[in-house]
Homo-oligomer: A and B are copies of this chain.
């Protein structure tokens, strides 16, 4: 799975877990709603500065947004 798709899945999962719409989440990040939509569809070659912004809005570390399904399973197994 590409890192774009890993990032997209984690952002969508955590945004929904926070109970936020794409619009409300975009406001929290200071980014545009359509940008968040394109990120969640893995269409965006997102920059590290925006990874940092999105991680801060989700209150997670940037590295957590790049954890693939295997790492997520391992971290849940601990």
Interface residues of A (CB under 8 A from B): 2-4, 6-7, 45-49, 51-52, 55, 61-64, 66-68, 71
| Smallest CB separation, A56 vs chain B (Å) | 10
Label chain A's interface by main secondary structure: helix
For this chain, the copies found in one complex come to 2
Query: CB distance A3 to B62 under 8 Å?
Result: yes
Bound-state Cα–Cα, A71 to B67, Å? 14
Query: With A61-B71, A63-B64 given, is the CB distance from A45 to B47 under 8 Å?
Result: yes
Bound-state Cα–Cα, A78 to B46, Å? 32
| Smallest CB separation, A70 vs chain B (Å) | 9
Beta-carbon nearest neighbor of A70 in chain B = B61
